[in-house]
Amino acid sequence: MKYELVSGLETHVELSTKTKIFCSCSTKFGGEPNTHCCPVCLGFPGTLPKLNKKVVEYAIMAGLATNCEISNISKMDRKNYCYPDLPKAYQISQFDMPLCKNGYIDLSNGRRIRINRIHIEEDAGKLVHQGGNTYVDYNRGGVPLIEIVTEPDFRSSDEVREYVEKLQLTMKFIGVSDCKMQEGSMRCDVNISVRPVGSEEYGTRTEIKNMNSITFMTKAIDYEYTRQIDVLENGGKITQETLRYNESDGTTSSMRNKEDADDYRYFRDPDLVNIHVTDEEVEAIRRALPELPEVKRVRYISQFGLPEADALQLTKSRAIAEFFEAASDGVKNPKTVANCIIGQIFRRMENDDAKEKFEVSIPASYLKDLVLLLDSGKIRMNLLKSTLDQMLDSGKPATEFLSESDLSGVDTGDLKKFCEDAVAANPNAVADYRAGKEKALKALLGSVMKASRGRADALEVERILIELIS
Amino acid sequence: MVTHEDVLKIARLSKLQIREDELEAFTKDMDEIINFANTINQAAVESSDFDHINRLENVFREDVVEPSLPSEEILRNAESQEDGYFLVKKRG
Amino acid sequence: MEDYGKIKKLHDSLQKKEFSCEELTKTYIGAIEADNPALNAYVHTTPETALAAAREIDAKIARGETLDILEGIPMTLKDNISTTGIETTCGSKILEGYRPVFDATVWELLRRRGAVLLGKTNMDEFAMGSSNETSVYGGAWNPHSTAHVAGGSSGGVASAVAGNLAVYGLGSDTGGSIRQPASFCGIVGLKPTYGAVSRYGVVAYASSFDQVGPIATSVEDAALVYDALAKQDPRDSTSRGARELACGTLKKDIKGMRIGFARQYFDGVRDEVREAVERSMQVYCELGAELVEIDLPQLSYALPVYYILSCAEASSNLGRFDGIRYGYKAKNYGDVNEMIAKTRSEGFGKEVKRRILLGTYVLSAGYYDAYYKKAQSLRGMLVQAFQSAFERCDVIAAPTVPMTAFERGKAAQNAVETYLTDICTVPVNIAGIPALSLPCGFDQKGLPIGLQLIGNSFCEATLLNAAYQFEQATRETVFRAAKMGVR
């Protein structure tokens, strides 16, 4: 029998607000244990939560960026479960009235992943088990999260990968999270079941919690998919359970048994009041939302005529896209700007992280001015390249490196003289060319360009050279 | 009818241990209280869902950092602590 | 000294230097030493800080400064109100030794106005009880007869104030915990509208019911303290503050005020209590008020609705006591999870465990709709019922408790029977509206009977005005007699 994967994702994304969701403690990552804490986030008796406005705003931005409806009225609920990292023994979350619902993300294969809901909630603290002792650090307790819950719409681990990457890019782009999986600011719970192809019913699902690497997540899904099929093929039954993925051997194993069935006893948190968002407020947030990476990519291709690969690279982060757009504003050929960024500026970035941050020593306007010089025929491409390198080294504008004569271009008489000199100085190359070796012309061309310090138009030079030696 | 099993299950969720010699008494109490609570089932409910008791909405805080409490204050009331962590020591 | 208008009189004496604040404070400290063993009202006393505060105030008086009305007045707080560095134990073993690192807003408000804190007073464990006998420190006893309880859960405050071991105190009222002990002890207790007073720093029992309010020997004192407390607090999202101050309108004429009464409030009420309340309504007639009969059939569901919802919230609120960050921690355990379960099992008393179990039960899968959700709907109905009632009247008069103070040890016998004694007090907590209790007579044993006055949301001023006029009218009969036995 042929089986297909059915998978859904719950993604926790830490919001990059300055303060926690219910108190004014900093959300900064790291720090000595229990130094970003106060009576509120530690749940001292009698303390009360107060909702951070920015959390609501960021969650709405996330909802709009994933095509969700924003609820006019939503509320906060308590999810009750006792664990030492949860100081109040309940997590303040949203149960039946989430802030955002019914969104989607479209994949490149044309399939649509439906988002059931996005809600806001608080993170828990951290436990360290050592030598039988348990150490508790509540610095992360109360850091704001959004949980993005999809329908079981994934049919392959590749789809999961693309979705997570897209989600990551979008959240970073709109500035609500840094989505660093290795620091835990983005993590996924994935549920997996299989069913015979063509079947409409869902199989029994298992859940793998707290995946914080896309690579391991796809491996885990593939492993679990094969394992479940094996079980079914051998006449077995899938047990509904929570699994852990073992990174060392690439297998999954059971985390806890069903005896402690989750019963979270959700109810409205009486310490907090309703969140009422008007349509006008939603529209204002929508208007303030930056153009999303996908929309930008399409526009770069259609409006600027960029190849898809370039468009993709330039929309890897908002910083890159904004730089590109500012630098190509009013230039004749944005592809030149794209080339400068991808070919020269990226090369100076140490890694992907730095690329995304895109901290460039020159403002975009310097690059634009440089490209405008090319557009107006005042400089040639290779001079542009060398000048850009000097600009990037020094952080100074193009005018610092281009002399009057550079900018005045090459006069036709001079150009002819350069060509004649080159022909005279390279008899071998001339002979080769005449013997049919077209490549020999390149040597002559190089010599002319050198003499003109790169200012000459290569096509024009070629034309003159051929005229001289044919 | 509230059973011993019900009480034990609820106790587990509540993180309470019920000793064997307490079980009967707790079960009886729970049964009486639940019977008493059942009287609400005679009531016809006219109104729809109840909202928050004081009907406030949109009470927010601005996203401005204020100093956290020094960790010695945070840890002051803990029975056990080490290197800034709350500690649950291995026992038994 | 006469109990009526005590705060104002003490204030004037301090200002006129008839005695110093230190002398006044010492008198109360001495009274506590003498009488607290019999009353068990205080569970933690703070004589040193009280005297230090008093001396500062004396220095102020010496400099010729004008005192705030509450400045230098010795008072007390129920032991569920957080006080920096001063034990706050909620009458529970699980909070033994707990010294908060912050002040409750209500205490901060009073402290800033120069209140002199004598100590923290006894209460039913986590405010769950009607006799103060669920406290790990034992009951607080009634100054009228120490063979009887002071009531609960704010029994310690009522006992201290009635026994003149404090001028006034703050209690908390979730289902009657201010009004019932005030009634038992023959003094005045006000439960404000939900949201009038901040809950920040008050250890939660049931968050959508809890309110802090004053317990005092007269309506004027209660009004003074209420005005000081009813401020919007940025730390409590559910707080609004008072709509209007109460002190200015206390003496207003109440001619034409409509006093409502519902027969449902008198079901199962003892004859002596019923008669006293009926006589009180006569007093209102004589004062020119108009009596209006109203119908509140929904009251029959009030008790189960209250217990279902308050216990549900309590089961969640009390989850945090796990021994890790504060309070009692079990000594012998295997892993962390066992430590938590043992800490809770050893740290909580029986009544608290009962209510946690009930609350967990009504919220758990399979029971939520039948209990929690249904009770919420009925809560909505009760809110509406009171709203319509207040279209026809300004204040509702009722008994506070169907009986007078219980004998020692009699309340804690049967859970449900004890719950039934809260019948007259819980409806206002369900509806979030204000109510107060003030003395209106005595039973044959000489135990006080309380008259409950219920007002519409944020109409504390009207409520206190009605109470003040009653108190003035009965000053020579009821009120003077309500003065305490012990001192």
Q: What is the CA radius of gyration of chain B?
A: 23
Cβ contact C280:C247 at 8 Å: no
pLDDT at A280: 97
pLDDT at C2: 62
CA B33 to chain A, closest CA, distance in angstroms equals 19
> Would an 8 Å CB–CB cutoff place A276 in contact with chain C?
no
pLDDT at A461: 83
Confidence of residue C485 (pLDDT cuts 50, 70, 90): very low
Domain of B18, in residue numbers: 4-42
C203 → chain A, closest CA residue: A46
Looking at the domain assignment, is residue B23 inside a domain?
Answer: yes
Instruction: Please choose, from the candidates C82, C149, C48, C176, the residue with its C-alpha nearest in 3D space to the C-alpha of residue C435.
Output: C176
> Would an 8 Å CB–CB cutoff place B78 in contact with chain A?
no
pLDDT at C94: 98
Task: Give me the torsion for CA of A47, A53, A54, A56, rounded to 10°.
Answer: 100
CA C116 vs CA A348, C65, C163: distances in Å: 68, 18, 18
Instruction: Please choose, from the candidates C342, C341, C331, C348, the residue with its C-alpha nearest in 3D space to the C-alpha of residue C94.
Output: C348
Cα B10 from Cα B4, distance rounded (Å) = 10
Active site residue C177: yes
Residues of C in contact with B43 (CB under 8 A): 301, 374, 378, 381
Cα C456 from Cα C373, distance rounded (Å) = 25
Q: C443 exposed, middle or buried (CB, 10 Å; 0-12, 13-18, 19+)?
A: middle
> Would an 8 Å CB–CB cutoff place B12 in contact with chain A?
yes
How far does Cα A172 stand from its chain's mean position? 6
Total domains in chain B come to 1
CATH of the domain at B18: 1.10.20
Looking at the domain assignment, is residue B19 inside a domain?
Answer: yes
Residues of C in contact with A84 (CB under 8 A): 322, 324, 336-337, 340
- CATH 1.10.150.170 describes domain C6-253+433-481: no
Confidence of residue C148 (pLDDT cuts 50, 70, 90): very high
Q: Which residues, at least 6 apart from C12, have a Cβ–Cβ distance to it below 8 Å? A: none
Residues of B in contact with C308 (CB under 8 A): 37, 40
Pick C200's closest partner by Cβ from A46, A84, A134: A46
Q: Could you report the per-residue pLDDT of C17-28, keeping only the tens digit for each?
A: 999 999 999 999
Instruction: Please choose, from the candidates A376, A356, A402, A349, the residue with its C-alpha nearest in 3D space to the C-alpha of residue A457.
Output: A376
pLDDT at C270: 96
Q: Could you report the per-residue pLDDT of C242-298, keeping only the tens digit for each?
A: 999 999 999 999 999 999 999 999 999 999 999 999 999 999 999 999 999 999 999
What is the phi/psi pair of residue A231, to 5°?
-60, -50
A90 → chain B, closest CA residue: B14
Cα C57 from Cα C80, distance rounded (Å) = 27
Chosen from C336, C342, C361 to mutate, greatest number of chain B CBs within 10 A: C361
Q: What is the mean pLDDT of each run of 10 residues along chain A (470 residues)?
A: 95 98 95 96 98 98 98 97 95 97 97 98 95 94 98 97 96 94 93 94 93 94 96 93 89 70 90 97 96 94 94 94 94 92 91 89 93 84 86 89 68 80 86 85 83 75 84
Confidence of residue C411 (pLDDT cuts 50, 70, 90): confident
CA B82 to chain A, closest CA, distance in angstroms equals 8
CA B92 to chain A, closest CA, distance in angstroms equals 11
Looking at the domain assignment, is residue B68 inside a domain?
Answer: no
pLDDT at B92: 61
> Would an 8 Å CB–CB cutoff place A270 in contact with chain C?
yes
pLDDT at C487: 37
Which amino acid, one-letter code, is at B47?
S
pLDDT at B21: 95
Tokens of A146: 């959004």
Looking at the domain assignment, is residue B79 inside a domain?
Answer: no
Average pLDDT, chain C: 95
CB-CB under 8 Å, C327 with B56: no
Which residue ranges form the domains of chain A, and what is each CATH number?
Answer: 3-281 (no CATH), 291-408 (no CATH), 412-469 (1.10.10.410)
Chains that touch C (3 or more CB pairs under 8 A): A, B
Q: Which of A115-124, A229-238, C226-235, C415-424 has the lowest mean pLDDT?
A: C415-424
Coil, helix or strand for C484? coil
CB-CB under 8 Å, B17 with C357: no
Tokens of C169: 């105190």
Could you tell me whether strands A206-211 and A242-246 are parallel, antiparallel, or unpaired per DSSP bridges? Answer: parallel
Q: What is the mean pLDDT of residues B66-85?
A: 95
Looking at the domain assignment, is residue B92 inside a domain?
Answer: no
Exposure string of A415-442, with b = 16+ CB inside 10 Å and e = fewer, is: beebbeebbeebeebbebbeeeeeebbe
pLDDT at A247: 87
Instruction: Please choose, from the candidates A380, A370, A446, A385, the residue with its C-alpha nearest in 3D space to the C-alpha of residue A410.
Output: A380
pLDDT at A410: 67
Instruction: Please choose, from the candidates C158, C156, C162, the residue with its C-alpha nearest in 3D space to the C-alpha of residue C137.
Output: C156
Q: What is the CA radius of gyration of chain C?
A: 21
What is the rounded end-to-end Cα distance, in angstroms, of chain C?
11
Chosen from C240, C311, C316 to mutate, greatest number of chain A CBs within 10 A: C316
Q: Could you report the per-residue pLDDT of C356-374, keeping only the tens digit for each?
A: 999 999 999 999 999 999 9
Chains that touch B (3 or more CB pairs under 8 A): A, C
pLDDT at C486: 38
Pick A53's closest partner by Cβ from B60, B74, B88: B60
> Would an 8 Å CB–CB cutoff place C199 in contact with chain B?
no
pLDDT reading at C483 higher than 90: no
Looking at the domain assignment, is residue B13 inside a domain?
Answer: yes
> Would an 8 Å CB–CB cutoff place A47 in contact with chain C?
yes
Looking at the domain assignment, is residue B66 inside a domain?
Answer: no
pLDDT reading at C30 higher than 70: yes
Residues of B in contact with A135 (CB under 8 A): 82-83, 85-87
pLDDT reading at C394 higher than 50: yes
Residue with tokens 């019977």: B35
CB-CB under 8 Å, B56 with C195: yes
Confidence of residue B48 (pLDDT cuts 50, 70, 90): low
CA A26 vs CA A34, A247, C8: distances in Å: 12, 32, 46
> What is the number of residues in chain A?
470
Q: What is the mean pLDDT of residues C92-112?
A: 98
Tokens of C428: 């206002």
- Domain regions of chain C by residue span: 6-253+433-481
Q: Which residues, at least 6 apart from C472, have a Cβ–Cβ distance to it below 8 Å? A: none
CA B67 to chain C, closest CA, distance in angstroms equals 14
Q: Which residues, at least 6 apart from A82, have a Cβ–Cβ distance to it below 8 Å? A: A89, B15, C319, C322, C340
CA A428 vs CA A157, A442, C50, C114: distances in Å: 60, 13, 108, 104
CB-CB under 8 Å, B54 with C432: yes
Pick A270's closest partner by Cβ from C208, C336, C340: C208
What is the complex's ipTM, to 2 decimals? 0.96
Residue with tokens 């693309």: A162
pLDDT at A120: 98
Looking at the domain assignment, is residue B80 inside a domain?
Answer: no
CA A317 to chain B, closest CA, distance in angstroms equals 25
Confidence of residue C52 (pLDDT cuts 50, 70, 90): very high
